[in-house]
Amino acid sequence: MNWASWSDFFAMGGYALYVWGSYGVVFGLLAMEIVLLILKKRSILQQLDRMRSAARRGLQ
Amino acid sequence: MMYVTPENTATGQDRFVGHSSWFRYSSPQTFFPLAGKLVPWFAVAALLFAAAGLYLGFFVAPTDSQQGEAYRIIFIHVPAAWMSMFIYVVMAFWAGVGLTFNTRLSGMMASALAPTGALFTFLALWSGSLWGKPTWGTWWVWDARITSELILLFLYFGFMALQAAIDDPRRADKAGAVLALTGVINIPIIYFSVQWWNTLHQGASVSLKSAPTMAATMFAGMLVMVLALWMYSIAASLVRVRCIILERERDSQWVAEYMSSLK
């Protein structure tokens, strides 16, 4: 085990800014990509749904 | 010259479909449900590998004798940098397949990979910068490795901008493919830059010819993180390619049936 305590872990031997700055931005941006993909999928499905209803109204 | 337009392809069949099972999944219609089934598996694998890799990287791998704890950036920096190059090669491969066989799905795969590849390129540069400051004393240098990785980011941006600027998706695929294939030359330049030029960036930590120049636990942590990002990239690209398929095939009968099945 490398760390004496959690505060020791978070301090990263004095390199906290660099280590957590790397991991934070990586996982933050990956999470953002996931959210954007979910929103994109949802908006496409809604748009296709609207197109279908509009086409059906046009037929009647 | 006749251009293939979305109108005459959305209802038509790719020329290989039906001829051989090898090309069965080259049809967007058959690939769409398969991709949907695969996504959760790759997503769960990504989570498991990330948990294992972070555990190895932070709790098992020892402190580096020269860099102290700053070296732990390696577990995200190297995997992100590898993925940035690997995704580009896969993207160029699909673009090339699309250009050669005129299969619709190939171009969609290439388009789906680009944003994730660009993201990993940025993350490699970002984590590299945060690693450079404590170890080299600078956030940025214009050395061969870093400059060629920055060019990779611009290649991704150029590919996406070019595709976005062309309305007809099939022509956008062709133009993007030419750019993607031309840019492949940059990949060996990035990879070998640390050997070809005098550079601040350290040499390869891992090579096929020699044993890794690091502790076994460090190496294991890095490889598991590579697997995690690999699984993540596959899951993200499959979700994105499904979005692209739905957008491009919106007027086809099978999308109408899929929409009805959601109700």
Contact status of A39 with chain B (Cβ, < 8 Å):
no
For chain B, give the percent of residues with pLDDT over 70.
86
pLDDT at position A52: 83
The pLDDT of B48-56, averaged and rounded, is 96
pLDDT at position B25: 65
Judged against a pLDDT cut of 90, whether residue B10 lies above it is answered with no
CA distances to B73, B108, B119, B125, B223 from B84, rounded to whole Å, are 16, 19, 8, 10, 15
The pLDDT of B48-60, averaged and rounded, is 95
pLDDT at position B26: 74
What stretch of H or E contains B204? Answer: none
Question: In chain B, what residues touch A34 (CB-CB under 8 Å)?
Answer: 236
- Considering the entire predicted model, what is its pTM? 0.88
Judged against a pLDDT cut of 50, whether residue B51 lies above it is answered with yes
Q: How far is A14 from chain B (nearest CA, A)?
A: 8
The three-state secondary structure class of B168 is coil
Q: Are B122 and B139 in contact (CB under 8 A)?
A: no
Cα radius of gyration rounded to whole Å, chain B: 21
Distance of CA B158 to the CA centre of its chain: 15
Q: Are A9 and A3 in contact (CB under 8 A)?
A: yes
The pLDDT of B156-185, averaged and rounded, is 94
pLDDT at position B73: 95
Range in B52-56, B137-141, B223-227 the model is least confident about: B137-141
CA distances to A49, B85, B242 from B260, rounded to whole Å, are 9, 40, 17
Which residue among A18, A25, A52 places its CB closest to the CB of B259? A52
By the 10 Å C-beta count (0-12 exposed, 13-18 middle, 19+ buried), A54 is classed as exposed
List, for residues A2-56, the tens digit of each pLDDT value.
888 999 999 898 899 999 999 999 999 999 999 999 999 999 999 998 988 888 8
* Confidence label for B11 from pLDDT (cuts 50, 70 and 90): very low
The pLDDT of B230-255, averaged and rounded, is 95
pLDDT at position B121: 97
Q: Which of residues B15 and A15 earns the better pLDDT score? A: A15
Range in A22-31, B171-180, B200-209, B215-224 the model is least confident about: B200-209
Q: Which residues of B fall below an 8 Å CB-CB distance to A?
A: 58-59, 61-63, 68-70, 72-73, 76-77, 80, 115-116, 119, 122-123, 126-127, 130-131, 133-134, 232, 236, 239-240, 242-243, 246-247, 250, 255-256, 259, 262
What stretch of H or E contains B162? Answer: helix B144-165
Q: B68–A52: do the CB atoms touch at under 8 Å?
A: no
Q: What is the DSSP letter of B20?
A: -
ipTM of the complex: 0.91
Q: What is the mean pLDDT of chain B?
A: 87
Chain A, chain B: beta-carbon pairs less than 8 Å apart: 84
Helices (H) and strands (E) in chain B, counts: 9, 0
Question: In chain A, what residues touch B59 (CB-CB under 8 Å)?
Answer: 1-3
Q: How far is B20 from chain A (nearest CA, A)?
A: 31
pLDDT at position B213: 62
CA distances to B39, B51, B231, B232 from B238, rounded to whole Å, are 7, 22, 11, 10
The three-state secondary structure class of B14 is coil
Any bridge partners for residue B64, and if so which? B68
pLDDT at position B144: 87
Q: DSSP states of A2-57 as a string?
A: --SSHHHHHHGGGTHHHHHHHHHHHHHHHHHHHHHHHHHHHHHHHHHHHHHHHHHH
Residue (of B16, B218, B202, B38) closest to B97 by Cα position: B16
The pLDDT of B73-96, averaged and rounded, is 96
The pLDDT of B76-100, averaged and rounded, is 96
The pLDDT of B222-235, averaged and rounded, is 97
Q: How far is B240 from chain A (nearest CA, A)?
A: 7
Q: Which of residues B204 and B102 earns the better pLDDT score? A: B102
Judged against a pLDDT cut of 90, whether residue B42 lies above it is answered with yes
d(CA A4, CA A8): 6
Q: Are B229 and A23 in contact (CB under 8 A)?
A: no
List, for residues B183-208, the tens digit of each pLDDT value.
999 999 988 887 777 767 776 666 55
The pLDDT of B130-147, averaged and rounded, is 90
By the 10 Å C-beta count (0-12 exposed, 13-18 middle, 19+ buried), B116 is classed as buried
Q: Which of residues B178 and B193 earns the better pLDDT score? A: B178
pLDDT at position B207: 58
Which residue among B59, B77, B259 places its CB closest to the CB of A2? B59
